[in-house]
Amino acid sequence: MVVYVARVFPSNWGLFAMKKVIIALFAILACGSAATAEDAGCEAFKWPVTREQVLFAAAQATSPGAELAVGAAADLALVPAEKAGFTLPPERSPAEGTFGAVASVEVPPEGAIQISLSGDAWIDVIQDGHTVKSAGYSAVKTCRDIRKSIRFKLAAGPATVQFSGARKAELKVAVLAPE
């Protein structure tokens, strides 16, 4: 009887080990598929957002009212929307319990800027006392780091950027010249 048990144990052990190997392989494949799907999600934007991904990783904490630099990203602190001090009322009224902020940007001589966000929020760009309509818009929900990217055609010089309707009290923002 002892010899019989000794023969059964190694074969059961081998089956058990094989099951663990198969489960581990499936887990590795699933993780690889998720990473590939995430990368594919960012590729769904109408234009490349790889610069934003790099900049967001090194974004510095920034207070509301700060100047956003073209070619850089900021980790913008937001305040309750009713305390944001918007220059003009946002085009979309912020929902109760959401956050916002006002910042400034110096538009380069080319006049085109692209503002990309890490989360959901409404963007209004104001120049010469008027809200400027966007020239292009792209948003996806499948990109982990970036939620939307909006392009504006402006005159060179100062502009105000209003963020409203954000669900969280912080928002990564990149301001770039479009590619």
Strand bridging mode 72-77 / 130-132:
unpaired
CATH of the domain at 147: 2.60.120
Answer yes or no: is pLDDT of 148 > 60: yes
Q: Which pLDDT value is given to residue 15?
A: 52
Q: What is the pTM of this model?
A: 0.78
Give pLDDT, residue 41: 85
- Asked if residue 171 and residue 107 are part of one domain, the reply reads yes
Q: Are residues 121 and 162 in the same domain?
A: yes
Retrieve residue 85's tokens: 């001090």
Helix (H) or strand (E) segment spanning residue 175 = strand 170-176
pLDDT band of residue 135 (cuts 50, 70, 90) is very high
Same domain, 78 and 142: yes
Q: What is the mean pLDDT of the chain?
A: 86
Q: Which domain holds residue 67?
A: 50-176
DSSP string, 53-76: HHHHHTPEEE-TTPEEPTTEEEEE
Model confidence pLDDT, tens digit, residues 64-122 = 999 999 999 999 999 999 999 999 999 999 999 999 999 999 999 999 999 999 999 99
Count of domains observed in the chain: 2
| Average confidence (pLDDT) over 28-50 | 67
Q: Are residues 38 and 14 in the same domain?
A: yes
- With bands split at pLDDT 50, 70 and 90, how would you rate the model's confidence at 19? low
